[in-house]
Amino acid sequence: MSTGGKNKLVLGYGTCGIAAGATAVKDALENELATGKYDAYLDIAGCMGFCFREPIVEVTDPDGRSVIYGDLSPKRVSRLLEAVAGGEVIEDWVVRRSDEPGAGEGDFLANQHRIVLRNCGNINPESIEEYISTGGYEAARKALTSMTPEELIDEVGKSGIRGRGGAGFPTGTKWGFARKAKGEQKYLVCNADEGDPGAFMDRSVLEGDPHAVIEGMIVAGYAIGATQAYIYCRAEYPLALKRLDIAIAACHEWGYLGQGIFGTDWDFDIKIKKGAGAFVCGEETALIASIEGKRGMPRPRPPFPANEGLWGKPTNINNVETLAAIPWIIANGGDRYASVGTEKSKGTKVFCLAGKVRRSGLAEVPMGYTLRQVIFDVGGGVREGKEFKAVQMGGPSGGCLPASLLDTLVDYDAITATGAIMGSGGMIVADSSTCMVDLARYFLSFTQEESCGKCVPCRIGTKRMLEILARICSGEGEPEDLERLDILAGDIKAGSLCALGGTAPNPVLTTLKYFRNEYEDHILRKKCTAGVCPALITLHIQEDICTGCGACAKICPVEAISGEKKEPHAIDADTCIRCKLCLSRCPEEAIYAE
């Protein structure tokens, strides 16, 4: 990319970067650059995926060589700029360098296949010109000026892309339903509610490349015959909302949204609707109710939204990631997209790696990779060299898979066969310090909190399951509880109105299937081997490590810790309330739970 003969600095300025302190780095950089001492300029971009090394700056020199630096802070800014000016590379901070792909975390990117994330981190998301300079809006122009809606639907069908929002329904087929539905007015909705509590793929795309989503929507709207579209975005994503606003305004200026777009006689516009905090509103019929200004309670399907959706009109709902892939598919052809992946799962999938994985961040991989490749080759394996225990996929609707299933392919059907789901892309890695019963309890407490309360199996059933799990975690579980969980899980899955309840038991079912021993440890032996469940652990101080600094004794709320100064301390198990405060306080990490 041309830098205009100067050094170009691009600061990762997505939510993750900002949370890690990118704003202070930005201020520092701007101040330094304002002195005019350096032959460099600053731009911003969305998340590059290296969340684990934020704040991040990519430096591109006039020859096009680039180095990505991580772990920046305002203090490091002048050192950085001097290095840039001197053409020097600060090896210790390198995340990736273009001339040495093996350096730093280079293989994180090298092992990816970026279609949806093609621009994320590479362009300024607040500039439509930068998007256009990468070929942006050419796909929409092509679609509107030289293709019929049927041809578009065919092309998308050929790509084999399946909905990335979780259910994996073939997008081309879905568009076909909406196209065929009778009705003067049809609607398109982009589902950007992203409620999985451990996933932020959609947010990163919206923050890093909002125009890709808008372009995908223009194509989808034209294909199904919808002139009005909505983006339903959670209110917790202020930056994504802001960038969408900027992008939509720019599109109006350029004639890409509004009346007669791209010089045709096709009208198309997009309105943003902010969610108000309800996971269930990611479900299609609840989402529709919410846009209509009602309580977000699902209704049975059929009738499907394709026939009776928003305001009773035919409505097509697609996920952010699905839509962001569309321009690429139209520009490069469905066949090319379909050449990536497995027989029934085509293209790529974005995953959000988190938990005990070394490189927690955003990665896009081809379908057909093994989970091992995703977690170890891309994600760098488990943190602190600990042992891999499980990966949770699909969040509250998904499941936990053990090490023995690491060779499962990233493929809708292969993953479903294990009891987990592809889901929207959350991948939480667990190590020996993660309690699987507690994790199941966590997800159940999430779904139970988020249940809309309309149908009985979900409203009361998930509550009862949660109560059983809480009982097990607090050491009061009984052997019959496992059977109760099984019964409830089966009937909730089959009986619930919407997929929230319909999938809520999955985290429990998969942990029961693959980690039953941990349940039995909790119930029969009253032990939490991971050292997580407070009622089932005891805290100890390792005498040979403790320096007797007394920090633990000071913080203990119940004075359970005693010992002479500079002598090893000890915990009185009877007094201890297992709040674990001392655990994080000890500078020597001498305290452990078991």
Ligand X SMILES: Cc1cc2nc3c(=O)[nH]c(=O)nc-3n(C[C@H](O)[C@H](O)[C@H](O)COP(=O)(O)O)c2cc1C
167 contacts ligand X (rule: CB under 6 A): yes
| Residues 77, 29 contacting (CB under 8 angstroms) | yes
Distance CA 494, CA 503 (A): 9
What does the DSSP assignment read for 430-475? EETTS-HHHHHHHHHHHHHHH--S-SHIIIIIHHHHHHHHHHHHTT
**Encoded amino acid at 137, one letter:** Y
DSSP-assigned states of every residue in 355-385? ESBSS-EEEEEETT-BHHIIIIIIT-SBGGG
Q: Which does 187 bind (CB under 5 to 8 A by kind): ligand SF4, other proteins, ligand X, none?
A: none
Hey, what are 383's tokens? 């943190």
Q: Which partner, other proteins, ligand X, ligand SF4, none, binds residue 571 by CB below 5 to 8 Å per kind?
A: ligand SF4
Rounded to an integer, what distance in angstroms lies between the CA atom of residue 547 and that of residue 552? 11
Return the residues of window 147-166 that contact ligand X according to CB under 6 A: 163-166
Q: What does 576 bind: other proteins, ligand SF4, ligand X, none (CB cut-off 5 to 8 Å by kind)?
A: ligand SF4
Q: Does 204 bind ligand X (CB under 6 A)?
A: no
Concatenated DSSP letters of 3-34: -TTSEEEEEE-SHHHHHTTHHHHHHHHHHHHH
Part of the chain binding ligand X (CB under 6 A), chosen from 108-116, 426-434, 492-500, 509-517 = 492-500
CA nearest to 470, candidates 446, 448, 438: 438
Q: Which of ligand X, ligand SF4, other proteins, none is residue 273 near (CB under 5 to 8 Å by kind)?
A: other proteins
Instruction: Work out whether 176 is an interface residue with ligand X (CB under 6 A).
Output: no
- Decide which of ligand X, other proteins, ligand SF4, none touches 539; Cβ closer than 5 to 8 Å per partner kind: ligand SF4
Helices then strands, each counted (H, E), the chain = 25, 18
Site for ligand SF4 in 263-282 (CB under 6 A): 280
Pick 44 or 116: Cβ nearer ligand X: 116
Structure tokens at 139: 């796909």
Query: Comparing C-alpha atoms, which of 504, 503, 530 is closest to residue 519?
Result: 530
CA–CA separation, 170 vs 184, rounded Å?
25
**Cβ contacts of 243 within 8 Å, gap of 6 or more:** 125, 126, 206, 207, 210
CB of 572 to ligand SF4, least distance (A): 8
Q: Contacting ligand SF4 (CB under 6 A), which of 340, 452, 536, 586?
A: 452
Chain CA centroid to CA 326, Å: 19
Q: Does 289 bind ligand SF4 (CB under 6 A)?
A: no
Residue 193 makes contact with ligand X by CB under 6 A: yes
Question: Does position 320 bind ligand SF4 by CB under 6 A?
Answer: no
199 binds ligand X (CB under 6 A): no
Dist. CA 459–CA 465, nearest whole Å: 11
CA Rg, the chain, in Å? 26
Residue 586 in contact with ligand SF4, rule: CB under 6 A: no
* Interaction of residue 317 with ligand X, rule CB under 6 A: yes
- Residues 1 and 124 sit within 8 Å (Cβ to Cβ): no
Which residue lies nearer to ligand X by CB, 32 or 155? 155
Closest CA to 459 of 504, 397, 421, 512: 504
Give which of ligand SF4, other proteins, ligand X, none residue 561 binds (C-beta under 5 to 8 Å, depending on kind).
ligand SF4
Question: Closest CB to ligand X among 455 and 593?
Answer: 455
18 binds, among ligand SF4, ligand X, other proteins, none (CB under 5 to 8 A by kind): other proteins
| 283 lines the binding site for ligand X (CB under 6 A) | yes
The footprint of ligand SF4 on residues 490-519 (CB under 6 A) is 496-498, 500-501
318, interface contact from ligand SF4, other proteins, ligand X, none, CB < 5-8 Å by kind: ligand X
Q: Write the CB contacts of 434 (distance below 8 Å, at least 6 apart in sequence).
A: 355, 356, 389, 390, 530, 532
Residue 577 partner contact from other proteins, ligand X, ligand SF4, none using kind-dependent CB cut-offs of 5 to 8 Å = ligand SF4
Write down the least CB distance from residue 41 to other proteins, Å.
27
Return the one option of ligand X, other proteins, ligand SF4, none that residue 166 interacts with (CB less than 5 to 8 A, by type). Answer: ligand X
Of positions 147, 498, 539, 553, contacts ligand X by CB under 6 A: 498
Which of ligand X, ligand SF4, other proteins, none interacts with 314 (beta carbon under 5 to 8 A by kind)? Answer: none
Residue of 392, 395, 342, 387 whose CA lies nearest to 369? 342
Q: Which tokens is 333 given?
A: 């052809």
Choosing from 140, 455, 499, 593, the residue that interacts with ligand X (CB under 6 A) is 499
Contact status: 458 vs ligand SF4 (CB under 6 A): yes
Q: Residues in the site for ligand X, rule: CB under 6 A?
A: 163-167, 169, 171, 174, 191, 193-195, 279-280, 282-284, 317-319, 322, 424, 498-500
Q: Residues in the site for ligand SF4, rule: CB under 6 A?
A: 280, 298, 451-455, 458-459, 496-498, 500-501, 539, 555-556, 558, 560-561, 571, 576-582
